[in-house]
Amino acid sequence: MSNQEIDELRAKIDNVNLQLLKLINERGQLVQEIGEIKKSLGLEMYDPIRERDMLNLIANYNEGPFEIATMQHIFKEIFKAGIELIEDDHRKALLVSRKKKPENTVVQIDGEAIGREKKTIIAGPCAVESFEQVEAVAIALKSQGLSIMRGGAFKPRTSPYDFQGLGFEGLKILRAVADKHDMKVVTEIVNPAHVEEALNYIDVIQIGARNMQNFELLKEVGSQKKPVLLKRGLSATIQEFIYAAEYIMSQGNGNIILCERGIRTYEKATRNTLDITAVPILKKETHLPVLVDVTHSTGRKDLLLPAAKAALAIEADGIMVEVHPDPAVALSDAMQQLNIPEFEHFMNSLKSSRLLAAD
């Protein structure tokens, strides 16, 4: 076969390609017309019975050389493109997605903004143990210019025999200390039935890693207005994390702060593996602020500062870190909480690294 013959055949193929192009677009226009009618009648765009009929027609009329399965595969792609053309692009985009809302969400916590240029540091004990313990931490936070304190009152512990938290008594302690020192409180709620009562005491509801897919809890916190700090599940993919946030937002509450807290991997050097690139991915895919919990992700005091620096450098909106006046006797996470001088050193190092504004 000469080169000239190849060129002639190629010209014919180009011609067929152009005809296909025209026909596929013509088909798209017809689909759009049907789409408009279906929309006005309130009908579903995708009709599996109609699709089956079209595939049968193709099978009946296929004369080869392509096999029926091959042709059906190609046509299914064309059908899919048609449906995508008419489905409301807006409806498909998640509420938490940047596609839906290009500008950043700034979560307001009673005058404190999370998600603006100024980074947020949320610190406090793993668990609330007493008024004195929480107050000692509050004073240390205040002297560093911080105003959002964390502390667990309902502790989801691995062993049922470990300290489970002070419950509502703990929430009352948090509120009393916060009011005395003009601070805000972030605390975990684990039971949907506790949400309403807890709202009397707290400023931000934390959903812990173990409850990221507790859908009833997500729906409950979504149906009220307080900001929600949602932690990534122990083994959750970023997509699952985003869907968990969508559960909250779909109920009407868009005040969501995401928190990367490490995921479980085979690595044992750290308690979890901090997925640092989850931060820019979440910020790209969603419009929500993203924090990094350096305590639970690393589980190691010596890694808190480098992990916090990495988080700020990769443009997280802030950090969560655990602080206890006497970690050696803490009722939970004794190994990884900073004592107050260590916390001061942590804060001063971040400020002098210029990753955190010194104010």
Q: Which of 124, 165, 170, 208 is in the footprint of ligand PEP by CB under 6 A?
A: 208
Give the orientation angle of helix 48-61 with respect to helix 68-86, to 10 degrees.
150
* Partner that binds at residue 184, options ligand PEP, Mn ion, none, CB closer than 5 to 8 Å by kind: none
**Binding status of residue 123 toward ligand PEP by CB under 6 A:** no
- Nearest CA to 299 out of 326, 338, 330 is that of 338
Which residue is at the shortest CB distance from ligand PEP? 208
Nearer residue to ligand PEP within complex by CB, 236 or 350:
236
Nearer residue to ligand PEP within complex by CB, 283 or 296:
296
Nearer residue to ligand PEP within complex by CB, 208 or 222:
208
**Binding status of residue 261 toward ligand PEP by CB under 6 A:** yes
Binding-site ranges for Mn ion (CB under 5 A): 126, 333
Residue 243: phi, psi to the nearest 5?
-65, -35
Give the C-alpha separation, 183 to 149, whole Å.
Answer: 7
225 contacts 196 by C-beta, under 8 angstroms: no
Give the C-alpha separation, 301 to 293, whole Å.
Answer: 13
Alpha carbon 13 to chain centroid, angstroms = 48
Name the DSSP class of 122: E
Which residues between 159 and 188 bind ligand PEP (CB under 6 A)? Answer: 188
**Binding status of residue 271 toward ligand PEP by CB under 6 A:** no
Nearer residue to Mn ion within complex by CB, 152 or 254:
152
**Binding status of residue 205 toward ligand PEP by CB under 6 A:** no
Alpha carbon 102 to chain centroid, angstroms = 16
- The three-class DSSP label of residue 99 is coil
**Binding status of residue 275 toward ligand PEP by CB under 6 A:** no
* Partner that binds at residue 231, options ligand PEP, Mn ion, none, CB closer than 5 to 8 Å by kind: ligand PEP
Contacts of 264 (CB under 8 A, 6+ apart): 234, 235, 272, 273
178 contacts 138 by C-beta, under 8 angstroms: yes
217 contacts 207 by C-beta, under 8 angstroms: yes
Give the C-alpha separation, 181 to 131, whole Å.
Answer: 12
**Binding status of residue 119 toward ligand PEP by CB under 6 A:** no
Nearer residue to ligand PEP within complex by CB, 204 or 312:
204
Nearer residue to ligand PEP within complex by CB, 72 or 295:
295
**Binding status of residue 324 toward ligand PEP by CB under 6 A:** no
Q: Which of 96, 126, 140, 294 is in the footprint of ligand PEP by CB under 6 A?
A: 126
Contacts of 68 (CB under 8 A, 6+ apart): 58, 59, 62
Which residues between 276 and 295 bind ligand PEP (CB under 6 A)? Answer: 293
* Partner that binds at residue 188, options ligand PEP, Mn ion, none, CB closer than 5 to 8 Å by kind: ligand PEP
Nearer residue to ligand PEP within complex by CB, 31 or 263:
263
260 contacts 275 by C-beta, under 8 angstroms: yes
Nearer residue to ligand PEP within complex by CB, 79 or 241:
241
Give the C-alpha separation, 138 to 150, whole Å.
Answer: 10
Footprint of ligand PEP on this chain (CB under 6 A)?
Answer: 126, 152, 188, 208-210, 231, 261, 293, 296
